[in-house]
Structure 1
Amino acid sequence: MHHHQVLTKDSTSRDSRVEFVCKPQRAAEARDAIAAFLEQLDPPPRADAVQNLLLLVSELVTNAIRHAGGVCALRLAADRRVLQIRVSDHSSAHPQDRTPDLTGRTGGFGWPMIRRLAHDVQVRSREGGGKVVVATVAR
């Protein structure tokens, strides 16, 4: 697993913005990477924001792995007001609201939960195919 961090300071807003990229093969890897990232932030995000973000990352990465062939790219950006995750994958199919499968076979719980946890969720098509899901949590 490789990830690199890009630190840019925007002098106009004095926000520190960190972009973090990893290609997780499992949701657990993504969660660990995000937890480590969040610990470095100053000021630290609220505990409930951290909890929500870790759940969001788990769900989004699980969805990408399950529905989009196993590789996704995860980016995290933080400024003074919000934490934002972007999960991109190679499937252009957008997430659908489905009736949850109570037997647990096909899921259906994740997308409504994602929309409940995030302050804002957008799904954008990528040029050349695929999509990006952008979820924002208030810090």
Structure 2
Amino acid sequence: MAGRTTAPRNTSTSGVSSAQARDITRDLLSRGNPVPGREEDVLTAVSELIANARQHAGGVSGFQVAALPGAVLVEVSDSSPEPPVTRPWAPTQPGGFGWRLVNQLADKVTVTVHDGGKTIAVTYTGHG
């Protein structure tokens, strides 16, 4: 697809780790970042989405990050058809911040349920 630079998609059942996904994302951003100043937002989302898939959905079945004109798209797939849930705000309790943080930092978040589970797509633009 013209104008799209895509990192390798990981389809192993054991999945990609947060560190591996961040490295793939950093590499992509270093080759022409369409969202300057938002690198940490993108990397935070990558970490949180991978961690959530591993902790709550049986692991990562797919990971992709793409540089588009003026945007970065992150997609994480897992085998659970259950959409993520925003937990009630409880600052004294461990956990429960990742999904809320992804939604607060991203310009667009979509959850698509499919036969193999679900894919969460997060978009960051240069206008965040």
TM band (smaller chain): 0.7 to 0.9
Q: Which residue does the alignment assign to 2:93?
A: 103
In the alignment, what sits opposite 1:35? 26
| 1:91 matched to 2:87 | no
Contact kept? 1:25, 1:65, Cα under 8 Å: no
User: Which structure 2 segments of 5+ residues have no match?
Assistant: none
In structure 1, C-alpha distance between the alignment counterparts of 2:44 and 2:80, rounded to whole Å: 22
Residue 32 of structure 1 and its aligned partner are, at CA, apart by 1.0
* 1:100-120 superposed Cα distances (whole Å, 9 cap, x missing partner): 55332xx21111111000001
Checking the alignment, whether the CA contact within 8 Å between 1:86 and 1:132 is kept in structure 2 is yes
DSSP-derived class of the 1:45 partner: coil
Aligned match of 2:120: 133
Matched to 1:21, the amino acid is P
State the TM-score, normalized to the length of structure 1: 0.79
| Aligned 1:1-80 pairs, distance under 5 A | 8-9=1-2, 16-23=3-10, 24-41=15-32, 45-47=35-37, 49-80=38-69
Q: C-alpha displacement at 1:70, in angstroms? A: 2.2
Q: Would the aligned equivalents of 1:21 and 1:73 in 2 still touch at CA under 8 Å? A: no
1:34 and 1:20 map into 2 onto residues whose CA distance is: 8
Deviation at 1:45, TM superposition (A): 3.1
Higher RCO (CA-CA < 8 Å; seq separation 6+): 2
Percent sequence identity is: 33
| AA at the equivalent of 1:83 | V
Please provide the CA RMSD for this pair. Answer: 1.7
Higher strand share: 1
